[in-house]
A and B are shown apart, each in its own frame.
Chain A
Amino acid sequence: MNLQLKPGSVVFENVTKKYGAVTAINDVSFSIEPGHLVTLLGPSGCGKTTTLRMIAGLEHPTSGRILIGGKDVTNLPATDRDVSMVFQSYALFPHMTVGENVAYGLSVSGLSKKEAAERAKEGLSLVGLDGYEARLPSELSGGQQQRVAVARALVLEPEVLLLDEPLSNLDAKLRRKVREEIRDLQQKLGLTAVYVTHDQEEALAVSDRIIVMNKSVIAQEGTPRELYETPASSFIADFIGDANLVEGEILDQDEVNANVRIDTLHCKLPSRGLSNGPTKVAIRPDSILLEQDSSVMTGIKGNVTHASYLGNQIHYSVDSSLGELFVVDYRIDNAITAGSDISITFATKGMSLIAS
C-alpha cells in the first residue's frame, strides 16, 4: 500500500490540564521527533492518558500550547486534527463490517465510496487481514480486532498515530507478538507514534524514547537504556526495574566513579554529581547475590523469609539490616529454602546512585 505519510512532530509547551480543583497535568513540556515511537509510561492516574487525549484533541489544555507538525493545534477539536488513535477497547463500530470500519474515516472526509473501500482494502492487507472486509468486528478474535483498529487509524495517513494501551485486552501470549507487529509497522512506515502503557516491560520493548509520568508531571525522559541504567529518582528505579532502594554513603569520588559504602560492603559506582555523604542506592533484584555456604559468608547477613519458584527463576524476600529486599535468582538449581540464614553481596552491574 502506498501510504503518503508525512510524520509530524508533537510538542507540548507548559501544558496544564485541570478538572475543577483536580490537576491532571501540571506544566508538562516535551517534544517528540518525527518518525519516533515514544511511550508515555506511568502508574494509573499519573496523567498519561490525559496527555494522549490532549494530543488527539479529545481534551483541551487549561493552559499551555500543543503543536503537531509545527502547527499550533491547541484549540482545534479532534475532528480537525491530523492524528488517529487506536483505543484500548478498539472502539470498532459494531454495526459496520470490518471494511466499513476501516473506510469510515475516509468516507467522512469526503472520499467516494468506491475509493474509500479500495483504500480500506489496502489498509487491511497492510495488517495482514486480506479478505476480512465483509466480516463484522464481533466475528473476529481480539488480536484481529486490534489489527482492524490499527488499519482504521493508518489509512487516514495521520501525522501522528496514538495508541492507548493497545495490548491490555489481549492475552499474555498474544501480547508479545502484537507488540512486535506494531513496532515493525511503525518502523517500516516511519510513523510518529505515541504509545500509552502502564507496563514497563512493554515500554522498554517497543520505544525509541520513554516519557515516565508520575503525579501529573514528567518524572524522567530518555531512551529505554538510560531509564533502566540511570534512574533519576527512586520512583523511576522502583517503577522501571523493581529496584531495591537502600541507604549508602559516598566516601569519595572523581569525575567517573564514586566509592560507596553500603553497610559493610564497598563498591564502585558511576558518580552522578552527588556530594559526598549519605545517599540512596538502587539495586536491581537480580544484582543481589545470596550465598548460603557459611564458608564464604563475607557479605551482609540476612534471612530468607519467602521463596517462590517461578520456573526459570526464583523470587526471594530477604530480611536484612538494609531492610526488606526483593531478590531474583536465575540459579534455580541452587534453591534456598525459606528460613535459611544467608550472606548478601552485590553484582558488579545493576546498581546506581539516586539523589535522595
Chain B
Amino acid sequence: MGTEGGNIVRTSFFPWLAMGWIGFAILPWYVIEDGFWAFEWVLDGYPFDSDYASALVQITLGKEWLLPLIFPLLAPLFILKRIKSDPIYAQTLIISGGFGLIYLLGQGFIVGIDGWEYGVFENTFGAMETRQYGMGYGALLSAGAFLILLTTGLAATGYLRGDVFVTSAIGIVIALVATFVFLPVGKILFSAFIDENGLYALNAFSDNFFNKKIWGLGCLTSSVSCGVGLNSLFLAIMTGTATTLLGLAFALVATRTDFRWKKSLRVLTILPIITPPFVIGLALILLLGRAGSITQFVSELLNIEPGRWIYGLPGIWLAQTLSFTPIAFLVLIGVVEGVSPSMEEASQTLGASRWQTFKNVSLPLMRPGLANAFLIGFIESMADFGNPMVLGGNYDVLSTEIFFAIVGAQNDQSRAAVLAIVLLTFTLSAFFAQRIWLGKKSYTTVVGKAESGAHAGMNPLLKWICLGVTIPWAAFTIVIYATVLFGGFVVNWGRDNSFTLMHYAEGFGINWGENGLNWEGTAWDSFWTTITISAIAAPLTAGLGLLTSYLLVRQRFKGKSLFEFGTMLSFAIPGTVIGVSYILAFNVPPFELTGTAAILVLCFMFRNMPVGVRGGIAAMSQLDKSLDEASLTLGANSLTTLRRVILPLLRPAIVAALVYSFVRAITSVSAVIFLVSADHNMATSYIIGLVENGEYGIAIAYSSVLIVVMLLAIILVQKVIGERKLRRHNRVENISQETTPLTSSSPREKQA
C-alpha cells in the first residue's frame, strides 16, 4: 500500500513529457488544410515541407521563434530520477510547464497570418517576413503536455493534497472553458469596440449600442417598428408569463386533480427535448398560415379574407409558448409537489376554505418556483432562433438580427457583436437574478422524512379554469405534432392535400445501384453528418460535464465558486451569441477551426456541458462521501476511485447525460447555423434552408424523421437502463429490506 519504488516511475510525468516531444518533434506543428486524418501529408513532403513540418524542423525553416519551446521540454529530463518531495522536482515542472504554455500561446497570438499581429512588435523587431497558420496536432499535443507538467508540478508542492489527477483535471477543465467559452465571449466584447477600419473606437460601440434600431420606441406612436432590443424584451416577457401560467395550470391538473389522463400529461415534458426548435413554427404555418388548414376552414366558414397575422409577434409568441410550456410544466410540477400537504392541512384545520388555503398558503410557497419558471421561459425565448426565423415576418428580434448582420449583405461583425452583447446582457441578467435571488431563498417544504397526508383539493372554480385551459392547449399541441408527422405525406399542404411519399423519396431515397446501396436522397448527407457529429459530441460532453461535477461536489479548492460559475456560464449564453463568437474567435490563427467538424463538436460540448454538470451534481450528491474516502484509505488513488467506485454507481446519470447531449446536438440550430460548412452540413440548418426556399413538404418530412429517430433513441436507452435497474432492484428486494444501498445506513438503524 505504501509508496514503493516502482510507483514513482509509474505515476510520473514521463508519458506526458514524451507526448510533448512527439508534438514538438514529430507531428506537423500547424493545421493541415486537407485534414490531418487524411494522411496526405505523410507522402506529400513530410517532414521538410514547411506546411507539414514539425516545430523542430520549422525552426530551421525560418520560424526561429519556436526555438525557445525546446527548453521546457529538455529541463524535465534532468529530474526524472528525483522524487516528488524534492523541491527541485516541483519547481522544474512548474517553470517548464508554465513557461512552455505561456510561450506557446503567446507566440500563437503574436505571430499571425500576416506576420506580427500587433504594431508594437513590428516597431521593436522590424517587419516579419514569414507568417504562421493555425495550430495543428503538434501544437495541441505540446500544449497539453505543458499543461500537465504544470499541474503535476503544482501537485508536487502539496496543492490539493498532492493529488496529480485532481490537479490536472482542474487544469484541463479551466483550460478548455477558458479557450472555448471565455475566449470567444471576450472576442465578441472586443470586436464591438472596433470600427470598420479595424481600430479601437469607443464611439463605434456607442453608435451601435445606443441605436434606434435596438432601442427605438417608434412602434408606440407610429407605424415604424420598435427596436429589436425592445422587441426581444417584450416577446420574452410575454412568453415567460404565458408559459409560467400555462405550466402552473398543467402542474395543478397533474398533481391536484383526479383528471383521468393526467399521467399522459407528463409525456408532454419529453416533447421539447426531441423537437428541433423551429418545428412548432413550421407546423403553425401549415395550420394558421395564409394557406393553412385552420385559416382556410375559418375563412370559408365566416367568409373573411385569410390574413398573414401569424407572421410576426403573435405567431412567434404562440410558437414559443407551445415550445416552452412543457419546460415550465416540468419545473412547476416539482414546485407544486414540493408544497407540504401538512401546511395545507394545517391551514384547513385553522378554518380556511380551499380557495383561501390556495391563495394564502400554497401560492406564496410556490412563488420562488414560479419566478424560476418565468426566468427560464424568459431566457429560452431570448435565445430562441428557430421560431423567429421561420415566423418572424417583420417583427425583428435580437437572435435573428445577429444572424442577418453576419450572413446578410452587410456582414457587419461589429454590429453583430453589439447585438450579441445586448442579448447577452438580457440573458445574463436573468441568469444572475435566478442564481442570486432564488439561490438563497427556498420555500420548499419537503423534508427527508416521508410525509403522510394528501394535498388539499382545489377550489372548484380554479379547477375548472385549469382544466378549461389545459385540455384545449394539450389538444392543440397534439394537433401540432400530428401536423408535423402527417405534413410530410401531403403533396402541398393546404393546396393539394393528396397523399404522397415524394418528400420522403426526395429526402431519404435509397436505391440499389451497381455500386451497391446508393444513398440517393438529398437529406442523407446532412443526416449522417448530424448523427456522426452528435455521436462524437455526446460522450465528450457527458465526460466533461461529469468530470466537472466530480470536481465541484467532491473536491475542495480555492476559487471553486468561480470555477463553478465559469462552467455554468455557457448555459446563459444564447446559441446565436455562441455561434457569432466562435466565428470571431476561431477563424484566425492560432485557432483555425471554422469549416471543420471539430468546431461543431466543440460548440456542442460547451453549449450542453452545464446539463451534464447539473445532472452529475445531482447524482453525485446522493452518493455518501465516505465511499470515496473508504476507497482512498484502502490505497486507491482518486482516479481509481472515480473509475471503480463513483462511475459504476453513477451509471444512470451517465446514460442520461449521454442521451441528452446526443439529442440536444441533433436539435440545436442557433449556434450551428453559423458554423456549418459545405463539408459538414447539419440537419437543422439544412431544414432552415429548405424553409427559406418555401419547400415545406420536405422540411417537415425531415423534421419528423429527426423526431422519430430521437424518440427511438430515448426509448431504446430507457428500455436498456430501466430493465437493468429493475433487475438489480428485485434482486436486492427479494433477499432483504435491511439497508438502503447508497447511503448504507437506513434511518431505522440510525435511530438505534
Contacts and interface: CB of A to CB of B under 8 A. Distances in A.
A131 to B, nearest CB: 15
A170 B739 CA distance: 12
A78 B633 contact: yes
A90 B630 CA distance: 8
Contacts of A162: 633
Contacts of B634: 84, 104-105, 108, 152-153, 156
A252 B323 CA distance: 91
Contact of B749 (A57, A108, A170): A170
Interface in B693-752: 731-732, 735-736, 738-745, 749-750, 752
B107 interface: no
B635 A79 contact: yes
Contacts of A171: 749, 752
Nearest to A156: B1
Contacts of A223: none
Interface in A85-143: 85, 87-95, 104-105, 108-109, 136-142
B2 interface: yes
B629 A78 contact: yes
A70 B636 CA distance: 23
B90 to A, nearest CB: 12
Interface in B219-241: none
A88 B743 CA distance: 11
Contacts of B3: 76, 80
Contacts of B478: none
Interface in B228-282: none
B739 A75 contact: no
Contacts of B741: 94, 136-138
Contact of B626 (A89, A95, A138): A89
Contacts of A57: 632-633
Interface in B643-672: 644-645, 648-649
A94 B633 contact: no
A89 B745 contact: yes
A89 B624 contact: yes
A138 B635 contact: no
Contacts of A77: 161-163, 632
B640 interface: yes
B563 to A, nearest CB: 18
Main secondary structure of the interface of A (DSSP, over half): loop
Nearest to A84: B633
A171 B748 CA distance: 9
Given A138-B741, A156-B1, A169 B633 contact: no
B444 interface: no
A109 B635 contact: yes
A24 to B, nearest CB: 14
A95 to B, nearest CB: 5
Given A89-B744, A170-B749, A95 B649 contact: yes
Contacts of A82: 1-2
A212 interface: no
A256 interface: no
A80 B2 contact: yes
Interface string A325-350: 00000000000000000000000000
Contacts of B636: 79, 104-105, 108
Contact of A137 (B2, B638, B744, B749): B744
B743 A89 contact: yes
B749 A142 contact: yes
Given A108-B640, A142-B749, A169-B750, A91 B624 contact: yes
B311 to A, nearest CB: 56
Contact of B629 (A58, A140, A158): A58
A17 interface: no
B632 A79 contact: yes
A323 B189 CA distance: 74
A190 B162 CA distance: 32
A353 interface: no
B194 to A, nearest CB: 44
Contacts of A21: none
A25 interface: no
B532 interface: no
Contacts of A48: none
A79 B738 contact: no
A145 interface: yes
Interface string B600-625: 00000000000000000000000010
Given A79-B636, A109-B1, A87 B630 contact: yes
A140 B736 CA distance: 7
A78 B630 CA distance: 10
A156 B635 CA distance: 9
Nearest to B645: A93
Given A91-B627, A93-B627, A108-B636, A145 B744 contact: yes
B626 A88 contact: yes
Specify which of A78, A108, A139, A140 lies most central, judged by the most chain B CB atoms within 10 Å of its CB: A78
A158 B736 CA distance: 32
Nearest to B739: A138
A56 B749 CA distance: 26
Contacts of A138: 732, 736, 738-741
A140 B740 CA distance: 11
Contacts of A296: none
B35 interface: no
B629 A91 contact: yes
A87 B628 CA distance: 11
B631 interface: yes
A150 to B, nearest CB: 12
B85 interface: yes
A1 interface: no
A209 interface: no
A147 interface: no
Given A77-B161, A88-B626, A92-B744, A140 B738 contact: yes
The listed residue with most A CB atoms (<10 A of its CB), out of B635, B644, B732, is: B635
A58 B1 contact: no
B713 to A, nearest CB: 26
A211 interface: no
A83 interface: yes
A158 B636 CA distance: 14
A283 to B, nearest CB: 32
Given A89-B626, A89-B745, A139-B732, A95 B648 contact: yes
Interface string B1-41: 11100000000000000000000000000000000000000
B468 interface: no
A172 interface: yes
A242 B648 CA distance: 48
Given A77-B632, A138-B732, A171-B752, 15 more contacts: A76-B162, A77-B163, A79-B638, A87-B626, A89-B743, A92-B630, A93-B649, A95-B649, A105-B634, A105-B636, A138-B736, A140-B738, A141-B738, A142-B749, A169-B749
Interface of B: 1-3, 85, 158, 161-163, 624, 626-627, 629-638, 640, 644-645, 648-649, 731-732, 735-736, 738-745, 749-750, 752
The 9 closest A-B pairs by CB, nearest first: A105-B634, A91-B630, A171-B752, A94-B741, A91-B626, A108-B636, A78-B632, A87-B626, A85-B633
